[in-house]
């Protein structure tokens, strides 16, 4: 067989954009949009719906401090499934509870990724200072074992990793890793990167092919590609292998999401192909058509391509080629968009 020539990503800190049009657009983002978004994350915009993002991290941080202070005397809250989106009765009178969507943590991670991209092009000490303060708040919420998802820290951590299909712990890990790597590459600061490593290590303790570990994978993909970023930033192969595990388990029988939610299987339909929406209807190497939720799909396919490149996995690469061909030849709009 001919050897595949894989592409090599260019590190963020080696990229400089000098074009006058794009440089002015990036200045607009740095000076106006990123500060505006920080206000949104902190619910400081009267004209916009509240985010609750930083509120949740602060509440989770207080919960973590209480747990450390009280030790074995700390009483974990009994888990209450409060649904996919939780809104307060009065947005001006927030309780020490979780609010927003189950994936609300990821809003900060996406913001810090944008900060990293911006700082890589144009140093901004004031923006960096604000970002560091945000990172301190986020890291204060992290548990001793590395777990970091405010929905479960606040609502009852005893149910962590029990609803991968619908809730977004592994998705949030993905955006945490992406944001942490971008900020590290731009500034050299590794506090958030270390937090991402600790959370990935927590997931490694819970997921894998070994006896007693969960054989699950993300309901909403992105961890697959983010774990490659984490591997490339740290040189630690265990993160590449974790992402590969998620990819290889996806779509295998019995469906992991069925094991999580046996009540969702209709009698007589146990062998039906399900979960195309999550691209988990069949093993990824057998998939030939791009289906389901487009954001989830392209995150997965990107993670597959990155993993194939790093592990020189020919069959995974060939699956990526088939899916790419299906997208560009059958699913793409004239504008270049998909979904």
DSSP string, 68-108: HHHGGG--PPPP----SEE--S-TTS--SS--EETTTTHHH
> What is the model's pLDDT at position 160?
97
Q: Within a domain: residue 300?
A: no
How many other CB atoms are found less than 10 A from the CB of residue 105? 27
Compute φ and ψ for 246, nearest 5 degrees: -60, -45
Domain count, the chain: 1
Tokens of 108: 């900060």
pLDDT at site 1 = 55
| In a domain? residue 73 | yes
Compute φ and ψ for 43, nearest 5 degrees.
Answer: 60, 45
Please state, in angstroms and rounded to a whole number, the distance separating the CA atoms of residues 290 and 296.
Answer: 11
CA geometry: angle 141, 29, 32, nearest 5 deg: 85
The pLDDT value recorded for residue 269 is 78
Is residue 158 included in any domain, yes or no?
A: yes
Cα 324 from chain centroid (whole Å): 23
Structural domain containing residue 45: 15-80+94-210
Whole-angstrom distance, CA of residue 222 vs CA of residue 210: 23
* 47 domain-assigned: yes
- Looking at the domain assignment, is residue 159 inside a domain? yes
Query: Do 192 and 135 contact (CB within 8 A), yes or no?
Result: yes
- 28 to each of 17, 23, 34, 114, 187, how far by Cα in Å? 14, 9, 9, 13, 20
pLDDT of residue 267: 81
Vertex 289: Cα angle to 283 and 291 (nearest 5): 85
* Sequential DSSP letters for 42-75: TT--TTS----HHHHHHHHHHHHHHHHHHGGG--
Cβ-count burial of 159 within 10 angstroms (0-12 exposed, 13-18 middle, 19+ buried)? middle
CB-based contact 152:63 (threshold 8 Å): no
CA 116 to each of CA 26, 29, 63: distance values in angstroms, whole numbers, following the listed order: 12, 12, 29
Give which of 231, 53, 38, 67 is closest to 147, Cα–Cα.
67
Classify residue 265 as exposed, middle or buried by CB count within 10 Å of its CB (0-12, 13-18, 19+): middle
Q: Is residue 38 part of a domain?
A: yes
Q: Is residue 136 part of a domain?
A: yes
pLDDT of amino acid 167: 96
CA distance 339 to 323: 14
Q: What is the pLDDT of residue 11?
A: 87
Q: What is the pLDDT along the chain (339 residues), one digit of tens a residue?
A: 578 888 888 988 899 999 999 999 999 999 999 999 999 999 999 999 999 999 999 999 999 999 889 988 998 888 888 888 999 988 888 999 999 999 999 999 999 999 999 999 999 999 999 999 999 999 999 999 999 999 999 999 999 999 999 999 999 999 999 999 999 999 999 999 999 999 999 999 999 999 999 999 999 999 999 999 999 999 999 999 999 999 999 999 999 999 999 998 888 777 788 999 999 999 999 999 999 999 999 999 999 999 999 999 999 999 999 999 999 999 999 999 998
Q: Which pLDDT does position 170 carry in this prediction? A: 99
Predicted local distance difference test score (pLDDT) of residue 144: 95
CA atoms within 13 Å, Cβ hemisphere of 170 = 28
264 within domain boundaries: no
Q: What is the pTM of this model?
A: 0.96
Q: Is 304 in contact with 283 (CB distance < 8 Å)? A: no
């Amino acid at each position: 067989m001919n050897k595949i020539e894989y592409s090599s990503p260019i590190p963020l800190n080696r990229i400089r954009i000098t074009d006058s049009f794009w440089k002015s657009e990036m200045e607009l983002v740095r000076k106006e949009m990123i500060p505006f978004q920080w206000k949104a994350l902190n619910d400081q915009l009267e004209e916009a719906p509240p985010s609750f993002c930083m509120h949740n991290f602060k509440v989770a941080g207080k919960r973590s401090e209480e747990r450390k202070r009280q030790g074995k005397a700390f009483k974990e809250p009994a888990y209450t499934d409060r649904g996919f989106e939780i809104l307060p009765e009065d947005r001006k009178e927030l309780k020490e509870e979780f609010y927003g969507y189950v994936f609300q943590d990821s809003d900060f991670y996406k913001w810090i990724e944008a900060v990293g991209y911006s700082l890589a092009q144009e140093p901004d000490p004031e923006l960096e200072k604000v970002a560091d303060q945000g990172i301190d708040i986020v890291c204060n919420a992290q548990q001793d074992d590395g777990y970091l998802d405010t929905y479960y820290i606040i609502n009852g951590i005893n149910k962590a990793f029990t609803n991968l299909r619908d809730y977004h712990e592994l998705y949030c890990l993905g955006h945490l890793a992406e944001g942490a790597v971008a900020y590290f590459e731009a500034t050299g600061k590794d506090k958030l990167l270390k937090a991402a490593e600790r959370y990935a290590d927590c997931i490694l303790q819970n997921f894998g092919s070994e006896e007693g570990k969960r054989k699950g994978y993300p309901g909403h993909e992105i961890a697959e590609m983010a774990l490659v970023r984490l591997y490339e930033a740290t040189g630690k192969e265990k993160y590449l292998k974790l992402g590969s595990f998620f990819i290889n388990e996806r779509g295998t029988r019995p469906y992991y999401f069925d094991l999580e939610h046996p009540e969702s299987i209709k009698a007589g339909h146990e062998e039906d192909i399900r979960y195309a929406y999550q691209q988990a209807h069949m093993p990824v190497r057998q998939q030939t058509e791009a289906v389901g939720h487009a954001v989830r799909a392209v995150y997965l396919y990107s993670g597959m391509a990155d993993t194939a490149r790093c592990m020189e996995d020919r069959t995974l690469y060939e699956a990526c080629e088939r899916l790419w061909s299906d997208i560009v030849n059958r699913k793409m709009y004239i504008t270049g968009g998909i979904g």
